[in-house]
Amino acid sequence: MQPLETATEPCALLRTGLVGKGIALSRTPAMHMAEAQGQGLCCDYRLHDMDAPENAGITLAQKLDQLEQLGYAGVNVTYPYKIAVIDHLTEMSENAAAVGAVNTVVFRDGKRCGHNTDLWGFAEGFRREFGNTGHDHALLVGAGGAGVAVAHALIDCGIARLSIHDTDPDRAAQLAHQVTRNRPGARAQITEDIAALIARDRPQGVVNATPMGMAKLPGSAFPVALLSADMWVADIVYFPLETELLRGARARGCRTLEGAGMAVYQAVRAFELFTGRPADPQRMKATFDAFDHETRILRP
Where does residue 272 rank: exposed (0-12), middle (13-18), buried (19+ CB within 10 A)?
A: middle
* Annotated active-site residue in 82, 111, 216, 285: 82
Q: Is residue 52 left, alpha or beta, with left meaning phi > 0 and alpha meaning psi from -120 to 50?
A: beta
Please report which residue ranges of the chain form alpha helices under DSSP H.
28-38, 60-69, 94-99, 118-130, 145-156, 169-182, 194-200, 244-251, 260-275, 281-298
What's the rounded Cα separation, in Å, for the pair 101 and 111? 18
Are the CB atoms for 80 and 20 separated by under 8 Å? yes
Kindly list the distances between the CA atom of residue 122 and the CA atoms of 156, 171, 178, 267, 274, in Å, as whole numbers in the listed order.
Answer: 11, 21, 18, 11, 20
Q: Is the dihedral of CA 279, 237, 171, 249 positive or negative?
A: positive
DSSP state of 12: P
Reference 129, options 255, 247, 227; nearest CA is: 255
Coil/strand/helix, residue 5: strand
CA distance 77 to 32: 14
Q: In the chain, what are the helix, strand and coil shares in percent, each to the nearest 5? A: 40, 20, 40
Beta strands at 104-108 and 74-77: parallel, antiparallel or unpaired:
antiparallel
Q: Choose among 175, 177, 236, 170: nearest CA to 206.
A: 236
Active site residue 216: no
- How many whole angstroms from its chain centre is CA 252? 26
Residues taking part in catalysis: 82
